Amino acid sequence: MAYENKNFSDNQGEGRGDNRNESLYSKRIKAGKRRTYFFDVRSTRGNDYFITITESKKRFDDNGYDRHKMFLYKEDFNKFLAALSDTINYVKTDLMPDFDFDAFNHDQENEEGSDTTINASTTTTTTPLIVSEGSSVDDWKI
């Protein structure tokens, strides 16, 4: 399930006089019981932008978390998305063509985590992301 950070402008730069470490936009994806992924847009001192992708996993031995972070810069956005899309499409079409990936869409759950009953007649379709070599983000068709 993904969540938008609706409060990012309320606390930007509080207590520091700057906003270098604050997220301008954020999405959170809960993945299972122990993993969460965060996608954050941040700014540099020169008013440029980059994305951080963070995996956070709850530890078994205590109440802490292990965090792993990637930085994705604008000059790599197109290459990164094309490679990710190609990789996912390879798994879906070549390795596991009969697997129902839509069975794992949990967007019907509310934020508190309680399940919402889903009607068995409800169908979900996934349209593959089409990325061609040399295309830009604006040219992609979803």
Q: What is the pLDDT, as a whole number, of residue 11?
A: 42
Please name the residues in contact with 45: beta carbons below 8 A apart, sequence gap of 6 or more: 20
Question: Into how many domains does the chain fold?
Answer: 1
Q: What is the pLDDT, as a whole number, of residue 55?
A: 95
Are 11 and 25 contacting, i.e. CB atoms less than 8 angstroms apart? no
Residue 102 tokens, joined: 């839509």
Q: What is the pLDDT, as a whole number, of residue 106?
A: 62
Q: Which pLDDT tens digit goes with each residue over 101-138?
A: 888 776 544 444 433 333 333 333 444 555 555 555 55
Q: Residue 43 pairs with which residues in a beta bridge?
A: 49
Distance between CA atoms of residues 99 and 94, nearest Å: 11
Dihedral angle, C-alpha 116, 27, 55, 65, nearest 10 °: -70
Stretches in the chain below the pLDDT threshold 70: 1-21, 106-142
Identify the burial level of 43 via C-beta atoms within 10 angstroms of its C-beta, where 0-12 means exposed, 13-18 middle and 19 or more buried: middle
Q: Residue 53 pairs with which residues in a beta bridge?
A: 39, 70
Are 120 and 131 contacting, i.e. CB atoms less than 8 angstroms apart? no
Q: What is the CATH number of the domain that holds 94?
A: 3.10.450.700
Containing H/E element for 38? strand 35-43
Are 84 and 92 contacting, i.e. CB atoms less than 8 angstroms apart? no
Q: Residue 58 pairs with which residues in a beta bridge?
A: 65
Q: What is the pLDDT, as a whole number, of residue 116?
A: 35
Q: What is the pLDDT, as a whole number, of residue 138?
A: 54
Q: What is the DSSP string of 40-86?
A: EEEE-TTS-EEEEEEEEEE-SSSS-EEEEEEEEEGGGHHHHHHHHHH
**What's the domain range around 117?**
2-139
Q: What is the pLDDT, as a whole number, of residue 60?
A: 84
